[in-house]
Chains A and B, each alone.
Chain A
Amino acid sequence: MELLIIPFALGLISFLVPKNNIRFFGLIGSIIPVILTCIHLMDYIPGTWIELYRCDSEIPFGLTFTLHYDGISLLMLLLTAFSFPLIFLSNYNRDSSQSNLFHALAFFMQTGLFGVFLAGDGVLFYIFWEFTLIPIFLILYWFGNGNYTTLVKFFIYTMLGSLAMLLSLIWLKQHAHSFSYGDLIAANLTEKEGFWIMSGFMLAFAIKIPLFPFHTWQPNTYSTAPMAGTMLLSALMLKMALFGMIKWMIPLAPEGLECMRWIVIILGVLGIIYGGVIAIKQTDIKKIFAYASISHLGLIAAGIMLFSQNALTASMIQLINHSILSIGLFLVAEILISRTGTQDITQMGGIAEKAPKFAFWFMIISFASVSIPFSAGFIGEFLLLREISEFKLSLGILAASTLVFGAVYMFRAYQITMSGHKENTQFTDLTWNEWLVFCVLGILALVFGLAPYLIGDLIKESAQQLTLIVQNNS
């Protein structure tokens, strides 16, 4: 319970803190959830379900109020908690760091995210899922330069998906005793029902991830959003959808998995190729990273649909890796944009000789992004590709093109912006906070690359349980 109350309270306190201290307060405040989640991690025995809160009174309409987590949820909680200090830190010198409103909204967002990962009830999950949309929308609206159409499209699109999910939940409840996680899992469906219920969930998640034909909101939203908003969206909000697939969609309606698997895997593989190809042709730096993100996430989504223990573990490793990368990449984008005053990479160039430190860290992040060995991306992508190839070799080969495309668009972006020589341009090197963020990200990528079992051990048992549930029910 305290995991929900503390970020919310921090959000409320943010309004009271004086304006010149707010960024410091945000940084310190965001450490508290980190400590809390670490305490939970210390006590956690892999494979168990920890119940944080349960309301026993009888509630009408089959609603229950339970907060619980297993290994996968705990990993997501840790990811959320650790991302916020990094986001605040990279935002330390920007305009929005002076705003009480921004910090309050970010903390509300954290409350919602914790709620999504902790929810032990279908409607509760839906409530928190939607709740996260409100702060992020306001952050994009007030602190970005997004135009009206982009934001409305973003909001309506995600909302439409969520409503489909609500419909699925209501439908599922017709077969279950209550909305609680256990009861929903125990519901027996026919294959047809399972398929339709699953497609409702899948629509919500596919729009949020975003999978290939549902991605149109994403590049524009990313390119007009403020840096912190993009980081929140891409490092955390999208992960909600992947988490929802693992923890909610497939265990709840495993009867539809056989039909749905093919659709999502093919869409994922299409997304890998499509995102890669478009990213190669883009000149807007933020859009390159946005399409790269479509490409990466398509692979993770395809991996999740295989739903074996190995595939799930690999997906989670790659998911964590992608969060690390997206914070790093969008910080790179922000540094480039704010110091050159343009989003167009063809107008940049020769930055490496003026800002060697920045060039070094951009290189590291690029390497991690193209998943060279010893970076977390290598382990994740390699395992995922292996799983997909075992499922269907031709799809595996197509999906492996992500390695090629990744190298092309990443190094193209690096080369055009950083190398060469350009007269009369000013480019200040990294400030201390940016340097610190890059350091932390680089170390994390390296650590998870060398020791992926840190993630694997935490979630393996929980993944096993989920696969057993699915096997028994389908």
Chain B
Amino acid sequence: MEAIVIIFISALISLFLGIMKKPTLVLLVSIVGLLVGALVQNYEWYFLNEKYHVLDFNDGNIQFLNLAITLTGVIILSGYKHFMEESATIGDFSALMLFSLSGGLCLIGFTDLFMFFLGIEILSIPLYVLAGSKKKSASSSEAALKYFYLGSFATALLLFGIALVYGTVGTFDVEKIGFVSVLFTDQLPSMFFVGVLFMLAAMLFKVGAFPFHFWVADVYQGTPSVFMSYMSSVVKLIGIYAFYRLFGMMFPGVETFWSMLIVIVIFISMFIGNLSALNQDTFKRLMAFSSVTNGAYALMAVLTFSSESEALLVYMIGYSFSVVALMTINSLANNDEDKLVSLSGIGYKNPLIGVVGIVALLSVAGIPPMTGFFGKAMVFYQAFEQHMWLVSFALINSAIGVYIYLKIAMTLLKKEENAPIIALNWSQQIVLSVSLLALLFGWTIIYV
């Protein structure tokens, strides 16, 4: 709760500082706000263990909260240069990101459908603006418009679904709905199932899974790099975790109904993401399709809900830090055309970029000993007992994925003597080092 308030306040302050044209101060306030928010929240969790009316930041949730806040901080740092170039609007950007994050935190800790809906709205609306933040670019506006229309449609579906569920059960409280769905499974009217279906559709849209994945590629491509990495790491993480908790806690009684649907969705999403990524030559589009695939792997965790969410946590650490590292490298080395070829030889000439790049790619491809491997192995391991065939196909997809990421790795590490040497400033060095550490040692969090 405190984290949301503090981050919200720091967003407001940075908005005003932006009007007063103090770009460095804006970033400082945002970063400090994130830090203080996370610290206070952790203090409260550790010593006071308080529970609010509709929010709960204990146990599993606090770790996702920490991860989301850390990632946002890292992304703001990685966009430092981009922000500084457009210092007139810097206050807006960082404030919008923080507003969006505070919505995301509601979504991490919700115990009530009302808070859930509120969180999803606060998370999404700033994103529509951020997607179109490159005002002179047509593709950016296209992305914003597309995202906005489709996103509002999905929200409408979600609201309709919530209304139908509420109409059946008579409560917004997630746990109570869970009890009802377990105790009266046989007596539930079809209205309830329609509600579940609508909510499922809306959530699939938010995490970008089949059959609602069409927006992902266009929106990711049009959005500026910084916000794209925010969308594909933090928003994805929060979306999937919310999905995980929502369906695991609310509808355990009718699991046979929705788990079958999710299995089909995962199966098709993996193949669509991978096969579409196979021949992409622009980096962002490739990452967009890769996020469809990785989202599908993460959805396997939804099938195996338990109070321990370590598998999903480790998986998301691996995936989101890979995305952040790769997007940072891409924005360092690439121009607006965003071609894969222009990364050629960068990693060979710049050791830090090379190491981080290859570690990130190996991690997202799921090759040990990176965090991505542990996450993937744990998620697959949990799902194996009930969904053996799904896991087998997921492993085949991993092999296709290896090809895709290997292609980038080989471009990046090509032995090319006249590749440019890139000077890194302090913020980029911090971003790359933090990502490297997280990708190499992030999986040790299961010991904590």
Chain A residues at the B interface, C-beta cutoff of 8 Å = 57, 59-61, 123, 126-127, 130-131, 133-134, 138, 141-142, 148, 151-152, 155-156, 159-160, 163-164, 166-167, 170-171, 173-174
Q: Is the CB of A166 within 8 A of B446?
A: no
How many whole Å from B367's CB to the nearest CB in chain A? 6
Question: B interface vs A, CB < 8 Å?
Answer: 308, 310-311, 348, 358, 362, 367-369, 373, 377-378, 380-381, 384-385, 388, 391-392, 395-396, 398-399, 402-403, 406-407, 410, 413, 415, 446-447
Distance, CA A44 to CA B380, complexed state (A): 40
Q: Choose from B311, B392, B403, B407 the contact partner of A167 (Cβ within 8 Å).
A: B392
Smallest Cβ distance from B423 to chain A, in angstroms?
Answer: 21
Q: How far is the CA of A133 from the CA of B368 in the complex (A)?
A: 10
Let me know if A170 and B402 touch, CB within 8 A: no
Chain B residues whose C-beta falls within 8 Å of the C-beta of A152 in the assembled complex = 403, 406-407, 410
Write the chain A residue with the least CB distance to B411.
Answer: A148
B310→A170 contact, CB < 8 A: no
Shortest CB–CB separation between residue A185 and chain B, in angstroms? 20
24 contacts between A and B (CB under 8 A): A59-B446, A61-B378, A61-B381, A61-B446, A123-B377, A127-B368, A130-B369, A131-B368, A133-B367, A134-B367, A141-B415, A148-B410, A152-B406, A155-B406, A156-B399, A156-B402, A156-B403, A159-B367, A163-B399, A167-B391, A167-B395, A170-B384, A173-B381, A174-B385
Residue of A nearest to B401 (CB): A159
Residues of B within 8 A of A142 (CB): 348, 413, 415
Contact B380 A170 (CB under 8 A): yes
Closest Cβ of chain B to A155, distance in Å, is: 6
A167 to B392, alpha carbons, bound, how many Å? 7
Task: Return A58 CB to nearest CB of chain B, in Å.
Answer: 9
Q: CB-CB < 8 A to A170: which residues of B? A: 377, 380-381, 384, 391
Instruction: With A59-B447, A127-B373, A170-B381 as known contacts, state yes or no: A163 contacts B395, CB within 8 Å.
Output: yes
A165 to B362, CA, bound (A): 18
Across the interface, which residues of A come within 8 angstroms of B384, CB to CB? 170-171, 174
For A15, give the chain B residue with the smallest CB separation: B351
A60 to B382, CA, bound (A): 12
* Residues of A contacting B358 in the complex (Cβ-Cβ under 8 angstroms): 134
Q: Which partner residue on chain B sits nearest A143 by CB separation?
A: B415
How far in angstroms is the closest Cβ of chain A from B181? Answer: 29
The A interface, classified by DSSP as helix, strand, loop or mixed, is helix
Closest to B376 in A: A166
Q: Distance in Å from the Cβ of B336 to the closest Cβ of chain A?
A: 27
Given A126-B368, A130-B367, A170-B391 in contact, is the A60-B402 Cβ separation under 8 Å?
no
Closest A-B pairs by Cβ, 5 of them = A127-B368, A163-B395, A160-B399, A130-B368, A159-B402
Residues of A within 8 A of B447 (CB): 57, 59
Residue of B nearest to A179 (CB): B381
- Most central of B362, B368, B398, B406 by chain A CB within 10 Å: B368
Residue of A nearest to B403 (CB): A156
- Measured between beta carbons, the chain B residues less than 8 angstroms from A141 are 410, 413, 415
**Distance of A155 Cα from B362 Cα, bound (Å):** 12
Note all chain A residues with C-beta closer than 8 A to B308. Answer: 60
A-side contacts of B399, CB under 8 Å: 156, 159-160, 163
Residue numbers in B under 8 Å from A123 (CB-CB): 377
